[in-house]
Amino acid sequence: SFYRPHFTGCRSREQETFRCWWSAGIFQNLTEPGALRVFYQTKNFLSEWQECPDYTRTVKNECYFNKTFTQIWTSYCIQLRSVRENITYDEACFTVENIVHPDPPIGLNWTLLNVSRSGLHFDVLVRWAPPPSADVQMGWMSLVYQVQYRVRNNSHWEMLDLESGTQQSIYGLHTDKEYEVRVRCKMSAFDNFGEFSDSIIVHVAQIPSKESTFPTTLVLIFGVIGVVILLVLLIFSQQQRLMVIFLPPIPAPKIKGIDPELLKNGKLDQLNSLLSSQDMYKPDFYHEDPWVEFIQLDLDDPAEKNESSDTQHLLGVSRSGSSHVLNFKSDDDSGRASCYDPEIPNPEDLASLLPGHSGRGDNHPLVSRSSSSIPDLGVQQTSEVEETPIQTQPAVPSWVNMDFYAQVSDFTPAGGVVLSPGQLNSCPEKKKEEENEKKIQFQLVSDGAYTSENTARQLSASVPPSPGPEQGYQTFPTQAVEGNLWNGEYLVSTSDSQTPYLLPEAPPAPILPPVSDYTVVQEVDAQHSLLLNPPSSQPAICPHSPNKHLPAMPTMPMGYLTPDLLGNLTP
Amino acid sequence: MSRSLKQVAVLLVALLCLDPHSRVSSAPICTHGPSGCHVPSLADLFDRVIQHSARMHSLSNDLHSEFEQYFLPSKNSIGKIYRKCHTSSILTPNGKENAQKLAREELTEVILKLLMAWRDPLFQLHQSMAHQQDFNSFSSNKALEMGDMTHELRKGVEKVAEKMRVLGMLGNSVTGLSPAETMLPISDSGEAMSNYELLYCFRRDSNKVQNYLKILKCRIIPEHDC
């Protein structure tokens, strides 16, 4: 209880002397000096109580123990007695090293370490000196210090870690703010802090930097916004293009009622039976001329064609197809059945029927890289094209007599291709219109869309006659396709001089046009050499007996052989 | 500093593996003399042992504070309660001036006596702490480390004394420290001292050792008028 006289504390500043203070409490009669007295006892083989060696005159109620009377590592017990009443009001025991509260450090000052680039923060180094009363040189007292700082007039002090040296850095202070810094110390491995030193004020004025960060961030923000707007505009303007690039269209088979899986995986005879059941697909058409590809030439600038040779022009077309494209579509899908020309669905279906045919367009000698499709050929041709060629096949006269392949013999200045008529077969119905067969102008269409010969015939129906077929054969010095039965009929080589086509025996019919110098691969023997069938002895091209031919399909010169058929052919 | 810690680490490992009671003799690292080795000066040796003693005292303070949470001795507002330690029979200077007045040899001897007196009690302290349930392993490890450090410190001070003797700073009046008098920590009532009392006493004695070493160094090696 604090109403009674009691000790208020004992402290040592330097571990060499100490003082004790007491209070009389509410006992007014004991406040006179001398009423209360302090007695102490050191538990060091001395059990007598001795009175306080020195009552400080200047300070009230203080007892001072000087060096002589101070023993470290010794237990003291002090008593507060009223001698007159012989009452011990209070007693306390302690050891001196446990009551050491060092004096505050002196000489606290600060120096500026650096200011941040933005000019908003700065670091300082705070220095001080140990209290002079403490004998730190000898090490009698080993002190540790604690620095505290706060924004001026703030209530919360920031405390830093204990520091055994006499300096400390403070980081991250704000410019234009006043800070109070103070420091105190204690003996290491003891718990009693001394008093705080006087606070010092730390203040750094904010320097208005010449290159302020404000416009930099603004420029950055606006730049980013501008780039974003540009990107958005770009995307929106080129939406179609980007859509095609990123999400290319996937063609789907278009034959109604036919399973695409069967088309992919089925045998050719199955396909044939399946397809023959379809109305829109005529078998004779199928085995006659399904895979003639039509290269589309540039019809718009005939002036160019006059200068270069036709062959080279064709080659130029075929090799740099995109420049001559009548701009139908930007769809450059080679070999894929284009979905964009609804006018000729059937040739596309036909083309897609042939397993694995897609993608061959680039290698086929007759196919250019142009991405044009039929619909926009021209006013003349368009009208022809719109008719479904397959369905109107009976109306087509002259092509039926032809072989299912033809050789391009010449080019018209207008850009048409003149085909040398193939050998006519001996089918009687087809002998009628040989004349028209002479000049056939193919419209070479895109590599993606295969049309039939019938279509091409239609297209060329209104074309003016071109000069007659020449004697020689225009060979295509295209890439060699040896070893590839896909294009097996056309054994073209890179040499111009060679005639790639085997000259068959001259057909006996005199009225027929010159002998065709192309033939059909009959089969493949064991050494993977192609056995060619002389055209005269072709019995199987007769379209009137489709049923006879279809089962014998592996032996028929179909032109395109699937790998399955190749396996069948190999003996 | 690193070298002494290395020694401490090596010896600690050895102590952990072996019986702590067994004698550990440290082999000198430099056997080829001053040519291939840096022989520490006396000042360096003093610095090392002083740092070592500071570390030891800090450990003892930590353990003592932990104990106070458990035991809550009756404290008044001023200080700790008096306890009689088993090392009270050793006459030790109780102040700075007294220690400065004391002869070097006597001061050295006092230090060694104190360190020797705590070898066994610290081992017992560690044993009893390891067996009791209410101490976590952290405290028990601290006690073990404290015992090892005391042992190390004694070895170090012996080396310092040896060097001082070689250098002629110490007379030959330093008696050989015989471990014959093993003072058992017995309190007034005759019972074995409790762990708390042991820690209280060791905390005090480690502070004594630390300060005595500092005074001794100041007297042996004159530097900035200490």
How do residues B209-226 score in pLDDT, each as one tens digit?
999 999 999 888 877 666
* Residue A133 and residue A67 in contact, taking contact as beta carbons nearer than 8 Å: no
A156 touches chain B (CB under 8 A): no
Contacts of B220 in chain A (CB under 8 A): none
- Write phi, then psi, for A55 (nearest 5 degrees): -90, 120
Whether residue A170 has pLDDT greater than 90: yes
**Cα A140–A142–A144 angle (5° rounding)?**
155
pLDDT average, residue stretch B198-214: 92
More confident residue, B76 or A151: A151
Q: Which of A67, A92, A138 sits opposite B79 (nearest CB)?
A: A92
Task: Return d(Cα A525, Cα A556) in angstroms, integer.
Answer: 14
Tell me if chain A has a CB within 8 Å of the CB of B50: yes
Angle at A299 between CA A296 and CA A304, to 5 degrees: 110
The edge-to-edge listing of strands for the beta sheet with A62-65 is A6-11, A18-23, A62-65
Share of chain B above pLDDT 70, in %: 71
- A153–chain B nearest CA distance, Å: 32
* Cβ contact A125:A183 at 8 Å: no
Interface probe for B, chosen from A40, A46, A68, A72 (most Cβ of B below 10 Å), is A72
Residue A504 scores a pLDDT above 70: no
Total length of chain A: 571
Q: How many angstroms away from the CA of A176 is the closest CA of chain B?
A: 42
Identify the band that residue A171 occupies on the pLDDT scale cut at 50, 70 and 90.
very high
Collect all residues of chain B within an 8 Å Cβ-Cβ radius of residue A99: 78-79
Q: Give the least confident one: A34-48, A228-242, A292-306, B149-163.
A: A292-306
Buried b (16+ CB within 10 A) or exposed e, A299-320: beeeeebeeeebbebbbbbbee
User: Is residue A67 within 8 Å of residue A17, measured between CB atoms?
Assistant: yes
Q: How far apart are the first and last CA of chain B?
A: 23
Q: What percent of chain A has pLDDT over 90?
A: 24
Residue numbers of B between 79 and 98 with CB closer than 8 Å to A: 79-84, 92, 94-97
State how far the alpha carbon of A118 is from the alpha carbons of A114, A139, A170, A221, A468, in Å.
12, 44, 18, 18, 88
Residue A466 near residue A418, CB atoms below 8 Å:
yes
In degrees and rounded to multiples of 5, residue A522 shows phi and psi of: -85, -55
Percent of chain A topping pLDDT 70? 47
Distance CA B200, CA B60 (A): 8
Residue A568 has pLDDT above 90, yes or no: no
| ipTM over 0.85 threshold | no
In whole angstroms, give the CA distance from residue B21 to residue A244. Answer: 87
> Rounded distance, CA A286 to CA A238, Å?
42
Token digits for B125?
């302290």
Q: What is the DSSP letter of B24?
A: -
Q: Which two tokens stand for residue A125?
A: 């180094």
Q: Is B69 on the interface with A (CB under 8 A)?
A: no
Higher pLDDT, A404 or A173: A173
pLDDT at A291: 60
| Cα B197 from Cα B68, distance rounded (Å) | 11
- Our measurement of the distance from residue A448's CA atom to the centroid of its chain's CA atoms, rounded to an integer in Å, reads 31
CA distance A559 to A357: 12
Q: Residue B213 and residue B45: Cα distance in Å, rounded?
A: 11
* pLDDT value at A179 more than 90: yes
Kindly provide the b/e burial profile for residues A392-426, where b requires at least 16 CB atoms within 10 angstroms of the residue's own CB.
Answer: ebeebebbbbbbbbbbbbbbbeebbbbbbbbbbbe
B218/A138 Cβ within 8 A: yes
Q: What is the mean pLDDT of residues B99-119?
A: 91
Residue with the bigger pLDDT between A276 and B87: it is: B87
Q: Which residues of A touch B61 (CB under 8 A)?
A: 189-190
Question: Cα–Cα distance between A247 and A249 in angstroms, integer?
Answer: 6
Rounded Cα gap, residues A238 and B50, in angstroms? 80
Give the pLDDT band (50/70/90) at residue A554: very low
Structure tokens at B103: 């002869």
What is the rounded distance in angstroms from the CA atom of residue A398 to the CA atom of residue A256? 30
| Percent of chain B's residues with pLDDT above 90 | 29
A50 forms beta bridges with A40
CB atoms within 10 A of CB A8: 14
Name the token pair of B109.
Answer: 């001897």
Q: CA A485, CA A119: separation in Å to the nearest integer?
A: 80
H or E segment to which residue B2 belongs: helix B2-17
CB proximity list for B31: less than 8 A, separation 6 or greater: none
Say what the pLDDT of residue A384 is.
42
Residue B168 tokens, joined: 């002629």
Gap between the Cα atoms of A77 and A61, Å rounded? 17
Residue B55 pLDDT grade (very low, low, confident, very high; cuts 50, 70, 90): very high
A147: β partners: A183
| Residues whose CB falls within 8 Å of the CB of residue B194, separated by 6 or more in sequence, listed in order | none
